[in-house]
Amino acid sequence: MIGPIAPKACIFDLDGTLVDSLRDIAEALNECLELLGVPGYPMDRYRYMVGEGVPKLCERALGQTHPHLVKRLAELARPRYWVRPLRYTRPFPGVTELIGRLRAAHVKTAILSNKPHDMVLRMVRTFWPDGEFDSVYGYLEEELRKPHPHYVLRICAELGVQPAEVWMIGDTPTDIEAALRSGVLPVGVTWGFRPRCDLEAAGAAHIVDRPDQIA
């Protein structure tokens, strides 16, 4: 396990950390853009657009060219993605085994995502139906989404652990910033949507390339 002291709890990001969901997100949003008469993007472009919730994703997709369509795109994107979030999405190799090892070591586990809360619950129930996570939160309020520390600290309180005893594991600078603002240890993963250099620049205390490097 990385670090000199094992954590009492690990908080995981979802998209790009536990699951590879990029194709489903990209195809759903491109379908919505097409409905609005706006060109879509190659899937790889979405690596730098996701991670901060649907409103921010839609804002980035439309850029400065169609600001009047941002709200409408968000309205279209939620139901369009809801009908297909699991078409191609799957856990990254080694992730489910990692969760099993943490549970066996009596490390509490949680998820904190900027994906809409109902979609997070649906995904967790599909891939981890046996209560592998002690606490799960998705996007509920724009003003409290990551990197705001509110839900990180709420999860710590729910799990009965101090922030200094917790690792937050994610693939984007948003996750690293949320960890730093909450006083938990920021751990970056390189198998997700953003490169190592972005995680280093954000201030990750540790960066890992494979799930088995965490535990």
Please tell me the predicted confidence (pLDDT) of residue 81.
86
Residues 184 and 194 in one domain: yes
Overall number of domains in the chain: 2
Residues 13 and 108 in one domain: yes
Residues 73 and 156 in one domain: no
Cα–Cα separations (whole angstroms), residue 147 to 106, 171, 186:
27, 13, 12
Q: Which of 82, 99, 114 is the last residue of a domain?
A: 82
Check which CATH number belongs to the domain holding 117 and give it.
3.40.50.1000
Residue 176 belongs to domain spanning: 9-20+90-213
pLDDT in tens, 63-98: 878 889 999 999 999 888 888 778 999 999 999 999
| 26/152 Cα distance (integer angstroms) | 27
Residues 181 and 115 in one domain: yes
Residues of the chain where predicted confidence (pLDDT) is lower than 50: none
Please tell me the predicted confidence (pLDDT) of residue 63.
80
Residues 14 and 26 in one domain: no
Could you tell me if residue 3 is inside a domain?
A: no
Could you tell me if residue 185 is inside a domain?
A: yes
Check which CATH number belongs to the domain holding 56 and give it.
1.10.150
| 7/185 Cα distance (integer angstroms) | 9
Residues 156 and 74 in one domain: no
Please tell me the predicted confidence (pLDDT) of residue 47.
95
Residues 101 and 170 in one domain: yes
Q: What is the CA angle 181-121-139, rounded to 5? A: 40
Residues 72 and 166 in one domain: no
